[in-house]
Structure 1
Amino acid sequence: MQRLRIIAVLVILGSLAVLTSCGLLKGNRSDVEDKNLAKPLSFTIVYAKDNLLHKQGISSVIGAFEKSHPNIVIDEVNETWTGSYGEYLKMKEAVGEFPDLVEMSETQLFADAGLLYEIPGDLVNLLQPAPEVIGRFYNLPLELPAPQGIIYSKAVFRKAGIAAPPKTFGEFIEACEKIKRLGIDPIVVGAKDIGHMEYWVNKFLIDEVYIHNPDWNAQRSEGKVSWTDPAPMKAMNKLASLWGLGYVAQGFVATSDNQTASILVSGQAAMLFSGPIMFNLIKAADPSFEYGFFALPDDNGKINVAGAQAPVGWSISAKAALDPDKLEAITQFLHYFYGEDQYPRYLQAVNGIPSTNVEIDYPLPEAMSSVFRVLDDPKTGKSMFMDRFSGRNIPPPQFSDWFYQTAQDWLTGNTSVEAAMKEADRMWDALKQ
């Protein structure tokens, strides 16, 4: 087992920041907690639940917090939803039920609408802050970005005569062909969850578009580029080729992200495109399963990943911040979440990379060494998902969800890539109004 060690950055100062609040209520933190014991407090919380271990990691910290803070009740909004998590949050806001504390990815959209509160300084000082949005910090990152890549069965690779991970996209296609000849599906895709399609779509958009032109979104809004241009067309045609060549397991539209791990370990498929968060699900499905990880290269062997930090993470609602007692309860929880006892438990559940400025030490699976090699290689290109850009590069509201869902239409043969990309131009212009 390898162990992750993030060097402390002024640990004493970090600890001091925990003890010294920025004065949300008068008195030190102990005085505030003693005062609150006589007055029950509560707040609502919503977070993405696409991955079971992510859900379990957060929920376990909430349970521990409520036991140690009996005066505070956290209401986990647990109803299920169809479509994307972002659309669900917009629906909650529309019906007047926007949560007090929320895991947020479309930060600028909600900040521009006045729904988010600037993160207090005592919390910002504990973490490596997410990028600013309109000059302010609205997020506490749950973890630093870890790259998606191919998680593969070492046994199937050996059986297919694949001695090492492919060095180019062409070699990856050759590996898929060798695996297909064995009667095994080369790739399993969990397209029932839009987040899984988001991985695949953005992999090729990063390779062909964003790594070369980080301002592509802004230029699209200005009418200077088009979805039918050679670069985005090449990206989506490469994605479609994996389906067209028969490398993706059938039934992908009905397969959930969480099901992909069991399909991989059962030997039905050889590869899964995801991130380190899946390692623990694979271990739970079969502790003896041998797997490896590699970043999917482009045509020239260049590695590009979604490794640039984006403004995502915990956000506090502006409405909740109007109530000093509620704001104090939320702040107490966030200090607790990132504390020495609880934060490692969350990180271990998801194999996350710490976002705090203090030393974190916890066991990691062997495959994480490959993840860190990708991140630490100075030649690795780092970008972000289409909908994680901010400022002038923020895409129109709802466009990214539409695009990820529309990808299924050309992958299932209900439309062509060419027709879908023409429609993408029309949809972008319609939604940006």
Structure 2
Amino acid sequence: MGDPGLSRRGFLAASAAAGAGMTALSGCGGGADGGSSDGTTTVEWWNISTTEPTKGVWAALAEKFEARNPQVKVKIVQWENDAYKSKMTALTASGKLPDIFHTWGGGVLRQQVDAGLVEDLTDRTGDFAEGLLPVAKEPYLLDGKVYGIPFDIGMVGFWYNKALFRDAGIAAPPATWTAFLDAVRALRAAGTTPLALAGKEKWPGMYYWAYLAMRTAGASALQKAYDDRDFTGAAFVRAGRHLRELVDLRPFQKGFLGAAYSTPTGQAATVGNGRAAMELMGQWAPVVQADAGRGLGGDLGFFPFPAVDGGEGAVTEVFGGGGGHALRSGAPQAAVDFLKFFASEATDRELVGKTGVLPVVPGAESALTDPNLKAVQAQLKSATGFQLYLDQAYAPAVGQEVNDSVGALIAGSGSPQQVAASITRTAKEAQ
């Protein structure tokens, strides 16, 4: 998953060694109010900024905040993504969370909120949260209340090699699913692998089904299906059929079922080294392509997921997510102050300029220089609907089943009907 900031790319590229030597679980929170005998308030900040440049930028921002607030000490605790998820699961079960902690919002955050472990920030952050990009705040709004403040937002779309498109005679990015399938055929006819996919990791394949479900049924239908615990509607089966149309064209690179995302032979490198024409991925894709491979430079382009003929969804309905911070219930005011500092225009400009995240503060947009990221930002600003990653939006067991069942469909061992039925069954069991 999980960009030079901290959505999916940031945590997938993170070093697994980051958890070594970190604070023990019993150390969370710095006491009931984070205070000490000398009047200093210590706030513990758990994040997944384990790779540069983000790690260094965030540490410097913490120091800047401390300099402005001499009675506050920020204790940074960093984890690699999977280790972080495991620790947070254990902490949620224990009933004690860090003062400030990374969140993707959605179903996992709701579980923590329902357990009474997360601070309601609606009143405590109103003076600055209202000015943030609306689409960036959606994953952290639960029942009309604010439980997290975003620092990053993005969307999934197709990243493509303009040179390979030209060689295949494709004049422009496809705007419809039918045209997309035609482009896949044209690339194959030209001897080019159309798509790279990290089949081993499941979640990249989920992106296809999720977007096709949005285009056939509409973005709001995905949330309704989850609320109703029923994904067996005709539109969801149709989404699976469209995905099977693609799979039947054999569009992916050789060995894709065993491929990871960010390894030197994985999905990102396959595109970054020019061995595949496209990948469906979030806004962090260019950085990972360059990290894992050579990168495409000026030959890299971006286009939104195409429309599906006869579908209920619009191209302006986007699928994605980002990163945010939440506070434990009863967190000290210093933690709220830190969130305000982190969500300021000055800080956001620094994050955009130095770590490559997309801005959540509208005034920081001028710090964007990459034309592809500007295109992504424009799509986000004009979005008429937004769907969080399904493996974050839904309860963990349901999200995992989406990934697994779609993975089976892509591998040829599942059917469109089986995808819909298995997700429905898991959703009902998770009630």
Q: How high is the TM-score relative to the length of structure 2? A: 0.74
- The letter of the residue matching 1:72 is K
1:314 aligns with 2:325: yes
Question: Equivalent of 1:292, from 292, 301, 313?
Answer: 301
Work out the CA distance in 2 between the residues paired with 1:406 and 1:88: 27
Instruction: Tell me if the contact between 2:102 and 2:326 (Cα under 8 Å) persists in the aligned partners.
Output: yes
Question: Equivalent of 1:269, from 269, 273, 276?
Answer: 276
Shift of 1:216: 2.5
Question: Equivalent of 1:64, from 45, 60, 63?
Answer: 60
Shift of 1:399: 0.8
Q: Tell me which residue corresponds to 2:404.
A: 405
Matches for 1:21-420 after TM superposition, within 5 Å: 39=40, 41-47=42-48, 56=52, 58-68=54-64, 69=66, 72-79=73-80, 81=82, 89-95=88-94, 98-104=97-103, 105-106=105-106, 107-119=109-121, 121=123, 123-127=125-129, 128=132, 130-131=137-138, 132-143=141-152, 145-211=153-219, 213=221, 216-217=224-225, 220-221=228-229, 226-259=230-263, 260-282=267-289, 285-286=294-295, 288-300=297-309, 303-304=314-315, 307=318, 313-318=324-329, 321=331, 324=332, 327-328=333-334, 330-348=335-353, 351-356=356-361, 358-372=363-377, 374-375=379-380, 381-385=384-388, 387=390, 395-396=394-395, 398-420=397-419
Shift of 1:238: 1.6
- The letter of the residue matching 1:419 is Q
- Which structure 2 segments of 5+ residues have no match? 1-35
- The letter of the residue matching 1:233 is V
Instruction: Tell me if the contact between 2:159 and 2:280 (Cα under 8 Å) persists in the aligned partners.
Output: yes
Instruction: Tell me if the contact between 1:160 and 1:178 (Cα under 8 Å) persists in the aligned partners.
Output: yes
Greater helix share, 1 or 2?
Answer: 2
Q: Tell me which residue corresponds to 2:421.
A: 422
- Summarize deviations over 1:201-222 as a string: whole Å, max 9, x none: 321121122337366326633x
Shift of 1:230: 1.5
Evaluate the alpha carbon distance shift between residue 402 and residue 151 of structure 1 in structure 2; reply closer, same or farther with a 3 A threshold.
same
Instruction: Tell me if the contact between 1:150 and 1:295 (Cα under 8 Å) persists in the aligned partners.
Output: yes
Shift of 1:376: 5.7
Work out the CA distance in 2 between the residues paired with 1:74 and 1:280: 29
Instruction: Report SS of the residue matched to 2:195.
Output: strand
Shift of 1:78: 1.5
Work out the CA distance in 1 between the residues paired with 2:259 and 2:308: 29
Shift of 1:291: 1.1
Instruction: Tell me if the contact between 1:265 and 1:289 (Cα under 8 Å) persists in the aligned partners.
Output: no
Q: Tell me which residue corresponds to 1:21.
A: none
Shift of 1:154: 0.6
Instruction: Report SS of the residue matched to 1:158.
Output: helix
Instruction: Tell me if the contact between 1:149 and 1:275 (Cα under 8 Å) persists in the aligned partners.
Output: yes
Work out the CA distance in 2 between the residues paired with 1:359 and 1:266: 32
Instruction: Report SS of the residue matched to 1:152.
Output: strand
Work out the CA distance in 2 between the residues paired with 1:310 and 1:371: 12
| Count of aligned positions | 374
Higher relative contact order (CA 8 A, sep 6+): 1
- Summarize deviations over 1:51-102 as a string: whole Å, max 9, x none: x8xx5465233310344437624332414528xx767633442256633322
Instruction: Tell me if the contact between 1:206 and 1:306 (Cα under 8 Å) persists in the aligned partners.
Output: yes
- The letter of the residue matching 2:329 is A
Evaluate the alpha carbon distance shift between residue 342 and residue 61 of structure 1 in structure 2; reply closer, same or farther with a 3 A threshold.
farther
Percent identity of equivalent pairs: 19
- The letter of the residue matching 2:286 is F
Shift of 1:314: 1.4
Evaluate the alpha carbon distance shift between residue 273 and residue 294 of structure 1 in structure 2; reply closer, same or farther with a 3 A threshold.
same
Evaluate the alpha carbon distance shift between residue 361 and residue 413 of structure 1 in structure 2; reply closer, same or farther with a 3 A threshold.
same
Evaluate the alpha carbon distance shift between residue 425 and residue 348 of structure 1 in structure 2; reply closer, same or farther with a 3 A threshold.
same
Work out the CA distance in 2 between the residues paired with 1:273 and 1:314: 27
- The letter of the residue matching 1:294 is F
Work out the CA distance in 1 between the residues paired with 2:226 and 2:81: 34
Work out the CA distance in 2 between the residues paired with 1:376 and 1:114: 33
The worse-fitting range, judged by mean Cα deviation, of 89-98 and 231-240 is 89-98
Evaluate the alpha carbon distance shift between residue 58 and residue 146 of structure 1 in structure 2; reply closer, same or farther with a 3 A threshold.
same
Q: What RMSD, in angstroms, separates the aligned Cα atoms of the two structures? A: 3.5
